[in-house]
């Protein structure tokens, strides 16, 4: 996957996302949309939405996910991995990612997965609500 990292707006739309490894060589990319208003959830089917509430912004002035938001996203992906048993990678930039394993270990890398086969994003939307850096609610909604 080649992405032009010079366009900050494009980066904001592409990152972050999760790459799910169903079996080696078979991947799905699931976008993550960080929102501040619960009404926005319905706009994004087949996607992970993170409802970010609190004083600290989710992104800095350059559109990069803040350290607190990054830690929260790693926490969420870790929960998803434990819930599903699938290996996942939180991709935060063209050369910035966190691999999360079913045993709970997290490994930082500058090499996101090369998606040799891209599968559909799935048939559900995952809505995550955060208040002051703590996950307060997680809901999966089937999408048909």
| pTM for the predicted model, two decimal places | 0.73
What's the pLDDT band for 103 if we cut at 50, 70, 90?
very high
**C-beta of residue 48 within 8 angstroms of C-beta of residue 39:** no
In a domain, 56, yes or no: yes
Q: Is residue 1 part of a domain?
A: no
Residue 17 lies in a domain: yes
Residues 6+ apart with CB under 8 A from 118: 27, 28, 29
Percent of the chain with pLDDT over 70: 68
pLDDT band of residue 2 (cuts 50, 70, 90) is very low
Q: How far apart are CA 131 and CA 46, in angstroms?
A: 23
Give me the domain span that covers residue 83. Answer: 8-142
More confident residue, 95 or 131: 95
Q: Give how many domains the chain has, as a whole number.
A: 1
Domain assignment of residue 119, yes or no: yes
Does 95 score more than 60 pLDDT?
yes
Q: For 67-77, how does the pLDDT look when each residue is reduced to its tens digit (9 = 90+)? A: 999 999 999 99
Question: Is 34 within the bounds of a domain?
Answer: yes
Does 3 fall in a domain? no
Model confidence band, residue 119 (pLDDT cutoffs 50, 70, 90): very low
Residue 50, domain member (yes or no): yes
Cα(first)–Cα(last) distance of the chain, in Å?
A: 27
- Look at residue 121 in the predicted model and tell me its pLDDT: 47
Q: Is residue 70 part of a domain?
A: yes
Statement: residue 35 has pLDDT above 90: no
Decide if 107 contacts 99 (C-beta within 8 A): yes
């Amino acid at each position: 996957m080649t992405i032009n990292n010079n366009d900050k707006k494009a980066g904001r739309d592409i990152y972050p996302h999760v790459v799910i490894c169903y079996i080696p060589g078979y991947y799905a990319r699931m976008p993550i949309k960080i929102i501040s208003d619960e009404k926005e959830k319905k706009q994004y089917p087949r996607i992970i939405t993170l409802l970010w509430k609190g004083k600290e912004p989710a992104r800095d002035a350059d559109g990069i996910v803040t350290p607190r938001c990054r830690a929260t996203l790693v926490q969420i992906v870790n929960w998803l991995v434990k819930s599903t048993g699938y290996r996942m990678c939180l991709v935060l930039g063209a050369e910035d990612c966190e691999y999360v394993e079913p045993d709970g270990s997290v490994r930082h890398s500058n090499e996101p997965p090369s998606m040799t086969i891209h599968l559909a994003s799935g048939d559900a939307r995952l809505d995550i609500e955060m208040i002051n850096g703590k996950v307060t609610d997680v809901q999966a909604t089937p999408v048909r």
